[in-house]
Amino acid sequence: MESEALIAELARRLKPVRVLPSPARQAAAWFGLAAATVTAVTLLDGVRPDLAARLAVPSELAQWLASIATALAGALAAAMLARPDRPVAWALLPLAPLVAWLAALGFGAAADVARLGPAAMEVGENWGCVVFTAGLGLVLTLGLLVMLRHAGPVRPVPVLIFGGLASAALTSAGCSVAHRIDAALPVLVWHGAAVLLAVGLAWAFGGRLLVRPPGG
């Protein structure tokens, strides 16, 4: 076959490549759908009656807003790290809101100890938050990983980690609206355990979704 004919034949067989949305658009789309899902599940579960009073406490409000910021930053970091042309420094993006979230919890725990005494140190049992955050968080993580499945040959490990963190942080914010925990230490223990569980489940079950190439 002559070169001109070969080139023509190859050109005839070419298929258009689907252009991926920008990482920012991917993160925004996931965050919007995930926030709507968490809101719907939270409303079905029931909003705690003292929500307005709790959010009037600065540390409670800071903790809630920081968890949402962690979710958004984690989703954006995951979307950026799924692209080979984006620097690995995007992994630092969720650090500030995550530190702010933990700091708000720590400040709240110290204030609770001063206000309640030893009673503030009682962790108690609240498996509902763990089930809510880890279960719903896994569903949202899988949705994000399907969106970022092109990360398979790029950076699957950080995408899995930040995808799980984003989902768990957002569901943790929803859990704070629905489940009544009045001291910061139990919030730190139970929400922290749920976040770790959600990230672990994403690590265990999400890897298979990160193997398909773009357009696959």
Q: Are 191 and 128 in contact (CB under 8 A)?
A: no
Q: What is the pLDDT of residue 47?
A: 80
Does residue 129 have a pLDDT over 70? no
Q: What is the pLDDT of residue 127?
A: 58
Comparison of pLDDT for 76 and 50, the residue scoring more: 76
Alpha-carbon distance of 23 to 97, in angstroms, equals 19
Alpha-carbon distance of 172 to 104, in angstroms, equals 14
φ, ψ for residue 139, nearest 5 deg: -60, -45
Give per-residue pLDDT as tens, 95-104. 999 999 888 8
Alpha-carbon distance of 90 to 93, in angstroms, equals 5
The residue-averaged pLDDT of 31-56 equals: 84
The residue-averaged pLDDT of 26-40 equals: 92
Does residue 124 have a pLDDT over 60? no
φ, ψ for residue 210, nearest 5 deg: -105, 50
Q: Where are the domains of the chain?
A: 23-209
pLDDT band at 214 (very low <50, low <70, confident <90, very high): very low
Q: What is the pLDDT of residue 28?
A: 95
pLDDT band at 112 (very low <50, low <70, confident <90, very high): low
